[in-house]
Amino acid sequence: MADPWTHDLNSLGDRSRIGLRTLDATRAAITDKRSTQENPMRLFKQRPALAALIVLAIVVMFAPVAYAIVDRLVLSVDVDKPAEEIESDLESQLEQAGIPATVKAEKHEDGVEISIESDDPSVGSNLDVVVPNLPDNAVAQQLRIEVSCTLTDAQEAKLTQALRSPAFRGALGGPDADMAAAVRKALADAGFHDVDVAVHPNSVAITVKSPPK
């Protein structure tokens, strides 16, 4: 008797064949990416229409506990620096503030993505990021996701899928006035009805309070 996942794995195997790249295409993509990574400043200057989008996701996942109250911490990020320096700068700032966290920064075509991952429950609500030296047309957005309930592995996978979905990303990209409702709908459609969504001028905070129904 086949395992319950055999059919699904075979489907995954088949679908993973869709749109495979040739070796020449892979090599071309790599050499093209490396040439643009050598001078990230050139990217921002040559692509003013894209703006320098900084998405900061602070993810804190923990079982329901009381928040520790800490002083507000302002982190300064210089997006002109290489990714490695951004990482070490932020980690240094966090360490000085007594907050254990791992920082990863990646520069992409259209901006810098910074992640601060911590299981310190005090990190989520008392962290602000200040970005100096932004180009005039730059946009800095902060996305905070907190899970204040216990999720099973399957439920966590479901939340992951929901937050990766085009519907959720589309909701984030909409006008501020509609964003909270759109984000709630995107998550509700995935079964997560008990969520708080707070939209601020440059940040969105989402708290998942209960497992999906």
Q: Determine which residue in the list 160, 173, 174, 178 makes contact with other proteins, applying CB under 8 A.
A: 160
CA gap 168, 158 in Å, rounded: 13
Among 51, 73, 83, 143, binds other proteins (CB under 8 A): 143
Q: Number of residues interacting with other proteins: please give it, by CB under 8 A.
A: 53
The CA R_g of the chain, rounded to the nearest whole Å, is 20
Q: Is 91 in the site for other proteins (CB under 8 A)?
A: no
Check residue 1 for interaction with other proteins (CB under 8 A).
no
Residue 14 touches other proteins, criterion: CB under 8 A? yes
Of the candidates 67, 114, 75, 112, which has an alpha carbon nearest to the alpha carbon of residue 94?
A: 75
Q: Which helix (H) or strand (E) holds 143?
A: strand 139-147
Identify the three-state secondary structure at position 185.
helix
Q: Is 175 near other proteins (CB under 8 A)?
A: no
Smaller CB separation from other proteins, 113 or 136: 113
199 binds other proteins (CB under 8 A): no
How far, in Å, CA of 7 to CA of 112, rounded?
A: 39
Beta strand residue intervals within 94-200, DSSP E: 102-108, 111-117, 127-130, 139-147, 195-200
Question: What residue ranges bind other proteins (CB under 8 A)?
Answer: 3-9, 11-23, 26-27, 29-31, 33-34, 55, 57, 59, 102, 104, 108, 113, 115, 117, 143, 145, 152-154, 156-161, 163-166, 168-169
